[in-house]
Amino acid sequence: MNYILSELDMELDLEIIHHELTPTEVILFIESMTVTATCPKCLQISHRKHGQSLRKIRDIPISKKDVYLYIRLNKWYCTNPSCPCKYFTESTRIAPAYQRSTLRATHFYKKAEL
Ligand SMILES: [Zn+2]
């Protein structure tokens, strides 16, 4: 699975903790190991975790199998009392906010539609 990590250009603080192979899918379970995060509104660094959220992200196929990443990201409190954002979920390069696919999967499936 290490080659997938390098291909994903995954941040150092993300770690594949488990994987499953089915006849049609490769599923990677990934966890964030971050110990701080920066509030997207006020840019203050937070050390207080609020919980976690699970995101399902589609990646490009491997050996004709669909690839899905289940990424557990941390939620954080913003400790700046004047910030309107009370808590936020960290974002990553491979799973930007509101995206359901990696960037390369978006390009791959757009090309496949042409
Ligand atoms: Zn904030």
Domain hosting 79: range is: 2-113
In the reported structure, the alpha carbon of residue 97 is separated from the centroid of ligand 1 by a whole-number distance in angstroms of 17
Number of Cβ within 10 Å of residue 74's Cβ equals 21
In the reported structure, the alpha carbon of residue 35 is separated from the centroid of ligand 1 by a whole-number distance in angstroms of 17
Find, among 50, 7, 1, the residue nearest to 29 by Cα.
Answer: 1
In the reported structure, the alpha carbon of residue 95 is separated from the centroid of ligand 1 by a whole-number distance in angstroms of 21
Q: Is 93 left (phi over 0), alpha (psi -120 to 50) or beta?
A: alpha
In the reported structure, the alpha carbon of residue 8 is separated from the centroid of ligand 1 by a whole-number distance in angstroms of 29
Q: Beta partners for 27?
A: 20, 68
Residue 78 and residue 86: Cα distance in Å, rounded?
A: 5
Find, among 58, 50, 114, the residue nearest to 78 by Cα.
Answer: 50
Residue 5 and residue 69: Cα distance in Å, rounded?
A: 11
Per-residue pLDDT tens for 20-62?
999 999 999 999 889 999 999 999 999 999 999 999 999 999 8
pTM over the 0.85 mark: no
In the reported structure, the alpha carbon of residue 13 is separated from the centroid of ligand 1 by a whole-number distance in angstroms of 22
Question: What's the count of helices (H) and strands (E) in the chain, helices before strands?
Answer: 2, 7
In the reported structure, the alpha carbon of residue 81 is separated from the centroid of ligand 1 by a whole-number distance in angstroms of 8
Domain count, the chain: 1
Residue 6 DSSP SS3:
helix
In the reported structure, the alpha carbon of residue 45 is separated from the centroid of ligand 1 by a whole-number distance in angstroms of 8
In the reported structure, the alpha carbon of residue 82 is separated from the centroid of ligand 1 by a whole-number distance in angstroms of 8
pLDDT confidence bin for 98, thresholds 50/70/90:
confident
